[in-house]
A = this chain, B = another copy of it.
């Protein structure tokens, strides 16, 4: 006999939980009950992943669980928030215990690492698998990293390396569509970067806590598109130094530096942070970020609004003409 919704919830989604003092009532009632310290803002984000729009049917459910959590925690990191709780809405054609077991393991791998509780959700039946996560965390009032806070003169930074997520997506697509049957070491590394992005939690918290930055977002749609949101909301423009774009050895090995830069600019699903730092905080930034062991790179600077060109590209100080469109899923 098929397990009921209540059995499933109990089996896979309550047994691997961390305990948090701020969770008063967990899964199983009409609502979860949690408490929030005064003086803190609650940061809330929601992301949906739909089969064939955001992932292929053959994805390892463990990777899917991991990625669903990672993309949401990345949004919290982009506000400088410390993650606390998530809710899960899961739609599946049938209740498959092996699938649920692997999916929940992938979720809890990342949830438990960051001491985040799953406080509720809904499991529904539907022909197309779909996952919606709502994640919440805390940030001290007036320290949150907002898209509208970039100032002229701020330096533009990114964490990690860019373009891996998009290159990984192309490889995953080629494998799924049978255009490719095996991958080498570098290709496998890029695929893993897509399946298992690293939410930059400690970086986001440190930037906010020490007020090293007031402006950040996470790179889900690609640097050009996402930086464009910062520029538009802050009423400024940017100069990007192409030679400084951080690209992974795997990406450069496979595609060469020039193509790697294109991936870095256009690429989606990197889930790295892009943030701006006032000039007088630059030295402090290096001091506070050193212990985190999170790679970060200065790639440009915020300039006054240029109505003709939102982003000015330079290489070694010389202007370069580039047309880049941002990444759209499965188009």
Contacts and interface: CB of A to CB of B under 8 A. Distances in A.
A148 B38 CA distance: 29
Oligomer copy total: 2
A64 to B, nearest CB: 15
A82 to B, nearest CB: 12
Given A33-B139, A41-B33, A147 B28 contact: yes
B121 A31 contact: no
A45 to B, nearest CB: 4
A226 to B, nearest CB: 10
Contacts of A30: 45, 75-76, 78-79, 147, 216-218
Interface residues of A, number: 63
A233 interface: yes
A131 to B, nearest CB: 9
Interface string A132-161: 101011010100101110000000000000
Given A124-B50, A132-B89, A132-B132, A44 B32 contact: yes
Q: Interface majority SS on A: helix, strand, loop or mixed?
A: strand
B130 A46 contact: no
A43 interface: yes
Contacts of A216: 30
Interface in A98-127: 119-122, 124-127
* 3 tightest A-B CB contacts, nearest first: A50-B126, A38-B38, A31-B43
